[in-house]
Amino acid sequence: MPPSGPAWVQQFPTSTKVSDLVDPFRTNVQNFLAALSAAGASVSIADTLRPQERLSLMYYSWQVAKAGMDPSQIPAISNVDIQWVHVDDQGNPDPVASTTAAAQMVASYGIVYGPALHSLHALGEAIDIDISWTGSLTINNADGSTAVISSSPNNGQNPDLHRVGATYGVIKLLTDPPHWSLTGH
């Protein structure tokens, strides 16, 4: 059984394709992204569909590295043959090596916020996007009416942009800067 560590990050890759999302969310996102593009905003998609195996690896690596979880308490993950407990040369559990490997995974995944074990990403109903613009943003709501966003910040954390996204059925999760979804979770 391969030990935990950064090599696992290459397994179970995340998609960045809007086409991998499910409808109606896929169409909602396509329309919102088209409105952002027409308004001159810069958009970078980080994640769309994320396999449950990847979610589990991200979640448990964070739990061990940042929350102090005992790696021996991690339940088996379907389709993932990983050894979270590292051992020393005598075959004894090595907590430092286990925590170090988990921290390397967290860093390699680029995790900034504690990830969820179950996410709408696994269902194709969430997207992580970075959005930015300069000056005021004049953007159409889903009904065709115009919204002018002149408030700060000029990025995806802007509450006025959240209201525009909601008209498209793309709801902002306030606690996770790049995360938008069908339900806001």
Q: Can you give the residue ranges of every domain in the chain?
A: 20-48+127-181
Q: What does the pLDDT average to over 50-66?
A: 97
Residue 94 clears pLDDT 90, i.e. is over it: yes
pLDDT at position 85: 98
For the chain, how big is the Rg over CA atoms in Å? 19
Q: What does the pLDDT average to over 19-41?
A: 98
pLDDT at position 138: 98
Q: Does domain 20-48+127-181 have CATH number 3.30.70?
A: no
- Predicted model pTM: 0.85
Q: What does the pLDDT average to over 35-60?
A: 97
pLDDT at position 107: 98
Tell me the per-residue pLDDT of 131-158, one tens digit each, with 9 for 90 and over.
999 999 999 999 999 999 999 999 999 9
Residue 112 clears pLDDT 90, i.e. is over it: no
CA distance 57 to 115: 10
DSSP notation for 19-58 = GGSPTTHHHHHHHHHHHHHHHT-EEEEEES---HHHHHHH
- pLDDT band, very low/low/confident/very high, at 79 (cuts 50, 70, 90): very high
- pLDDT band, very low/low/confident/very high, at 113 (cuts 50, 70, 90): confident
Return the DSSP state at 135: S
CA distance 157 to 48: 19
